[in-house]
């Protein structure tokens, strides 16, 4: 019965196409993430060129997330996603041609990276808006869990696929795979019919703090503390976790744990496996009575797990701690995204998702720099409780806001029973 609820969204043909297309493109992204550094460094481009290309990719991706959300509201998420996939297909194909023709050069790689980053920035907010147009409200948590789970699965298997492709066929072949996955995503979108006809999500169940449909984004930011709380918690969580995954965990594996590359890979795999299981576990929650309170409780558990992980003992115990951190993080993400999809006015959903993504991705470079500073001065172990404390304080502060606690609270129509988790 539980498994049936988790897989219920796959009964809808259009959602099947959406999930399969996004899984393909996420695997392609993983191939790109492995092949690009290898190409630049193997062709004597150096770390400076690699950093320049990564900035050229990351900056437009972050900046255009807010615009991508607005574009999804003004037009249709399907249209924005299709245009993004077409642009990224061309960009990845151009990158494959560049890799075939010769060594890595800034004048070739930087423009392509800008195009790919811009396409990703436009695509991501739209991908969160399209799901409510394809699924009934009761299946939305399971649908979000399946798409998030597909992303986590791609992060687990994508690097292995890229390594095999690069090792056997060459670097250019990995970029060809990336282009092909974007093309597959576009073809999957082309088979989706209902999203072409419907530009906004269907109305969800009545909410105790529903926002008027004609509210503007400025009015929403001024008059709804709940949205500001979501953004603050997102900033706080990502401020700690970015430095955690990119700096503190590698430094912990290399230094105090002395696990080597294989052990470090195992720690990252444990984190990813926990996130995958957490997203799938969230699929069991059809409509929690108080989703924001549930999310806060899960985030408190996440903060606690982050803080204690380096003190658990050896590599296996730390891996268990990272698994728990990933588990709670994956569950909290699905619960919060689903609550926002149900709460936000349909005409503003894209912009709300764009702001949420902008908060998460925008703070990432700052988080990495902060993590590098703390780890360099004090070592990797103290950074874990610092990251946990930042998230803990943000969540405790959020619980003092009644509008936050009431976010997404369903008010049953007359004659209907109240919804329970």
Mean pLDDT, to the nearest integer, of 54-81? 84
Please report which confidence band the pLDDT of residue 248 belongs to, taking 50, 70 and 90 as the band edges.
confident
- Give me the pLDDT at residue 4, please: 64
- Most confident of the ranges 21-30, 98-107, 210-219, 385-394: 385-394
pLDDT score at 229: 81
How far apart (Å, rounded) are the C-alpha atoms in residues 122 and 94?
A: 20
pTM here?
A: 0.77
Neighbours of 82 (CB within 10 A): 20
Percent of the chain with pLDDT over 70: 88
> Average of pLDDT values for 115-126?
89
Q: Which residues touch 242 (CB under 8 Å, ≥6 apart)?
A: 363, 364, 365, 366, 367, 368, 371
Q: What is the pLDDT of residue 3?
A: 53
Q: What share of the chain is helix, strand, coil (3-state, %, to 5)?
A: 80, 0, 20
Q: What is the pLDDT of residue 237?
A: 80
Bigger pLDDT: 348 or 113?
A: 113
| Mean pLDDT confidence for 250-269 | 79
CA atoms of 332 and 160, how far apart (whole Å): 28
325: pLDDT strictly greater than 80: yes
Q: Take residue 36 and report the two structure tokens written for it.
A: 């690009």
pLDDT at res. 114: 92
pLDDT level of residue 388 (50, 70, 90 thresholds): very high
Q: Which residues pair with 410 in a beta bridge?
A: 207
- Position 419 scores a pLDDT of 38
Residue 213: pLDDT above 70? Answer: no
Higher pLDDT, 417 or 406: 406
Query: Is pLDDT of 418 > 60?
Result: no
Mean pLDDT for the chain overall: 81
The confidence score (pLDDT) of residue 212 equals: 56
Instruction: Please give the average per-residue pLDDT across 238-263, as a whole number.
Output: 80
Domains of the chain: 2-197 (1.20.1250.20), 217-405 (1.20.1250.20)
Question: Residue 420 has what pLDDT?
Answer: 35
**Average pLDDT of the residues in 374-385:** 89
pLDDT beyond 60 at 416: no
Q: Cβ distance 349 to 201 under 8 Å? A: yes
């Amino acid at each position: 019965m539980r498994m049936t609820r988790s897989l219920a969204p796959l009964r809808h043909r259009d959602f099947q196409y959406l999930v399969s297309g996004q899984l393909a493109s996420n695997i392609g992204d993983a191939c790109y993430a492995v092949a690009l550094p290898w190409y630049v460094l193997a062709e004597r481009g150096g770390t400076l060129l690699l950093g320049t290309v990564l900035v050229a990719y990351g900056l437009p991706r972050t900046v255009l997330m807010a615009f991508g959300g607005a574009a999804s509201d003004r037009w249709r998420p399907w249209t924005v996603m299709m245009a993004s996939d077409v642009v990224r297909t061309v960009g990845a194909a151009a990158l494959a041609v560049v890799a075939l023709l010769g060594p890595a050069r800034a004048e070739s790689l930087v423009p392509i990276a800008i195009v790919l980053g811009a396409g990703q920035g436009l695509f991501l907010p739209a991908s969160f808006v399209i799901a409510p147009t394809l699924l009934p409200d009761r299946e939305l948590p399971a649908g979000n869990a399946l798409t998030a789970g597909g992303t986590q699965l791609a992060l687990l298997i994508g690097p292995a696929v890229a390594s095999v492709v690069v090792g056997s066929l060459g670097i250019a072949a990995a970029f060809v795979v990336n282009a092909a996955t974007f093309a597959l995503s576009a073809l999957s979108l082309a088979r989706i019919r209902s999203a072409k006809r419907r530009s906004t999500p269907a109305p969800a169940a009545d909410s105790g703090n529903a926002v008027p449909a004609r509210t503007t984004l400025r009015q929403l930011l001024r008059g709804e503390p709940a949205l500001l709380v979501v953004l603050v918690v997102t900033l706080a969580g990502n401020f700690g976790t970015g430095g955690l995954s990119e700096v503190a965990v590698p430094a912990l594996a290399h230094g105090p744990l002395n696990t080597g590359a294989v052990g470090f890979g195992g720690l990252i795999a444990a984190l990813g496996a926990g996130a995958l299981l957490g997203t799938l576990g969230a699929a069991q929650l059809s409509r929690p009575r108080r989703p924001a309170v549930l999310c806060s409780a899960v985030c408190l558990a996440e903060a606690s797990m982050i803080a204690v992980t380096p003190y658990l003992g050896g590599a296996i115990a730390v891996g268990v701690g990272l698994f728990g951190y990933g588990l709670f993080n994956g569950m909290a993400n699905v619960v919060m995204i689903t609550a926002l999809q149900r709460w936000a006015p349909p005409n503003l959903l894209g912009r709300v998702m764009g702001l949420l993504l902008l908060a998460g991705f925008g703070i990432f470079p700052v988080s990495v720099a902060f993590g590098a500073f703390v780890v360099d001065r004090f070592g990797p172990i103290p950074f874990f409780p610092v990251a946990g404390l930042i998230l803990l304080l943000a969540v405790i502060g959020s619980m003092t806001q009644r509008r936050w606690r009431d976010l997404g609270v369903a008010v049953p129509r007359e004659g209907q029973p109240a919804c329970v988790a």
